[in-house]
Chain A
Amino acid sequence: MDERVTDVEGARTTDARPTDAAGEELLSRRTLITGAVGALGVAVAAGIPLMAGGQGAKAPAAPPVPAVPVVPVDATKVPGAPTTAVGTRSPFVKPSRAPVGEITGNSLTPLQDLAGTITPADLHFERHHAGIPFIDPSRHSLLIHGMVATPLVLSVEEIRRFPPVTRTAFIECSGNGRAAYREPKPDTTPQKAAGLVGNTEWTGVPLKVLLDEAGARKDATWMLAEGGDACLLARSIPMAKAWDDALVVWAQNGEPLRPEQGFPLRLLLPGFEGNTSVKWLRRLELGARPWMTRWETSKYTDPLPDGTARQFSFDMDAKSIITSPAFPQALTKGWWPISGLAWSGRGKITHVEVSTDSGSSWSQATLHAPALDRALVRFTHMWEWTGRETVLLSRAIDETGYVQPTRAELVKVRGIGTDFHFNPIVGWKVQGDGHVVFHGET
């Protein structure tokens, strides 16, 4: 054991491979502790807080560290692990959807733990109205009926034989950000502020192909989409959307849908509020007026200050959020990438502006091309923190010219008590001591 530690030190000083600052710190601290107690178990204890906190971070009260596999002092000096049937994340990486644990509940995408734009399938947010149904795909089918020439029953296997397409699109619950809009609190994470959004590479068949197969009548104006869960969730969808870019999807990010995302079939309506992308899709009925289901009357309608309620508010307005720096990070002086996500239900994001001086001035952030239609785009902006207290903000602009509004503007037109569609500019206050807290009162 002691001999191996010596080897590590030797390797570190003679190895020509570049090592970053965090790696140096990790090795030297490990080596110190190792000398006293022994290499194996203790390296774990030394490693995890460093990985979790990042360089220079003063994380508030580190959580207790659960047991993880023994980490070699130098992974280049021992054989690695064999191949596995299904991969798992590094034990040092533990993102969580933070589920509320109710069958009518939700769980949130851990935005602060993700990079790029694609949401890993097992971290995509959930919102269920009667739990996740357990469905055998060989017994599942889609019925298309109503104003069609031929009412059709299509098995999952048959749907997969139509010409498939693949596209990336976000899904956002229209309740995303409700608490942060109504009562902004400093201890809000990106996950809590905006975690009811995910971005996926979907594979399926254009709905118009299925509509043509059934001989859909052109005078049909609405379509009821119904899921096969325990509440038979159903939404009325305008046929214009059905003929436009709607898909019936069976795959997400290269694999079959996860049960909580609608396995085996899901309707996908890019840019529309999330619950219209009906999961566990089992029926489409074409008609000439909306059905006024519970999910388009009692819920998913937006009370407005003039005493009305907006109904069928499908489009998700343009929105952005900085995902780092964010609560509960703590910064040291120097350069930091401001990194975040932006999206619009009405098309492409054309630019994202970032303010590092509490909104006095705005700079164009770099969009990580390509910015896709109705999909998340990553933006970054390099910024040097000099130690002064400030607020970091972002605002998205989409191809219709819509500019993400402040919270005050939204409250004026929608009211503080409106129930859905919350897309105010939000940001992060960097305190003089480097600690970062949520800033929602824009």
Chain B
Amino acid sequence: MRGALIVPLVLVVAACSRDAASSGASARASATGEPTRHYGLGHAASAAEVAARDIDVGPDGEGLPPGSGTAQQGAIIFQAKCSMCHGPKGQGMPPVFPALIGRDPKAEGFSFAKDWKLVKTIGNYWPHATTVFDYVRRAMPQVLPGSLTNDELYALTAYLLASNQVIPMTTTLDAASLKQVKMPYVDRFVVDNRRGGKDVK
């Protein structure tokens, strides 16, 4: 939940609730009737405190930062910072370092339930392109997480999507273009229909 509209609102609310907390009152309601701060514990987060942690990216592109990168740039970064674990071709070293790249024809068509030896990759399984950006930003490289710049993140995301034949190698990714990328098998993902009771699903 980031964006220019949100920040001023946060600041206003934060200022109000600081007052509420310092008055020491409990079980109060705001002027709009919305109950807040029953116990008065903690402090209202500043915009900077929220921004410092709010790194998530949604499937709609919300939260994508400024910056851009190309698949060609990503290929170079991949060899330098990723290939030691995931292999020079992104083939992985299972089970610890998963395969990232690969569109083995045998593994196309989403028949993973029938054969667990089929290797899932970004191209043949992942439903959302934004997840690549979000996960790499959170966790990679494993020995130095949080060290990649936004441009590097866009470049790596572009390389991983292009080498999985999802987008052309010539694509430049940024916030606007990444959220437009549709993954090949997104429509295969269904919501849990198990409800207990007699049915085994």
Contact = CB atoms under 8 A, between A and B. Distances in A.
- Give the dominant DSSP class at B's interface: loop
Nearest to B125: A298
A123 interface: no
Interface of A: 102-105, 129-130, 143, 145-147, 149-155, 158-159, 161-162, 182, 209, 212-215, 224, 226, 230-234, 282-283, 285-287, 289-294, 297-298, 301, 303-305, 307-315, 317, 346, 398, 400-403, 405, 409-410, 413-419
Contact of B138 (A182, A234, A305): A234
14 contacts: A129-B139, A143-B50, A145-B54, A151-B44, A151-B50, A152-B45, A154-B42, A158-B42, A289-B59, A293-B134, A294-B138, A309-B190, A310-B193, A416-B113
A416 B116 contact: yes
Contact of B197 (A104, A233, A289, A402): A402
B189 A419 contact: no
B8 interface: no
A295 to B, nearest CB: 9
B35 A145 contact: no
B109 A346 contact: no
A99 to B, nearest CB: 14
A212 B10 CA distance: 17
Contacts of B120: 298
Given A146-B1, A151-B50, A289-B59, A402 B126 contact: no
A215 B14 CA distance: 12
Given A161-B39, A293-B131, A315-B194, A153 B49 contact: yes
Main secondary structure of the interface of A (DSSP, over half): loop
Given A153-B45, A416-B116, A297 B126 contact: yes
Nearest to A228: B53
A164 to B, nearest CB: 12
B112 A419 contact: yes
Given A294-B134, A405-B200, A162 B35 contact: no
Nearest to B45: A151
A153 B188 contact: no
B80 to A, nearest CB: 20
B113 A292 contact: no
Contacts of A104: 96, 142
B141 to A, nearest CB: 11
A289 B60 contact: yes
Interface of B: 1, 10, 13-14, 16-17, 30, 34-39, 41-45, 49-50, 53-60, 96, 109-118, 120, 122, 125-128, 130-131, 134-135, 138-139, 142, 145, 188-198, 200-201
B138 to A, nearest CB: 4
A230 B138 CA distance: 8
Given A213-B39, A307-B109, A307-B110, A313 B56 contact: no
Nearest to B128: A292
Contacts of A233: 138
B82 to A, nearest CB: 15
Nearest to B60: A289
Residue from the set A103, A104, A301, A313 with the largest chain B CB neighbour count within 10 Å: A301
B54 A317 contact: no
Given A150-B13, A303-B112, A308-B188, A292 B139 contact: no
A311 B190 contact: yes
Contacts of A162: 39, 41
Nearest to B50: A145
Contacts of B39: 161-162, 213
A304 B34 contact: no
Given A151-B44, A152-B43, A417-B114, A215 B196 contact: no
A291 B137 CA distance: 14
A151 to B, nearest CB: 4
Contacts of B1: 145-147, 285-287
A209 B17 CA distance: 17
A417 B116 contact: yes
Contacts of B49: 143, 151, 153
Given A409-B200, A415-B114, A213 B42 contact: yes
A416 to B, nearest CB: 7
A346 B197 CA distance: 10
Contact of A130 (B37, B53, B145): B145
Given A308-B189, A311-B192, A417-B116, A292 B198 contact: no
Contacts of B188: 307-309
Nearest to A212: B38
Contacts of B142: 103-104, 130, 230
Contacts of A152: 42-45
Given A130-B142, A312-B192, 5 more contacts: A213-B36, A230-B145, A285-B54, A309-B188, A403-B200
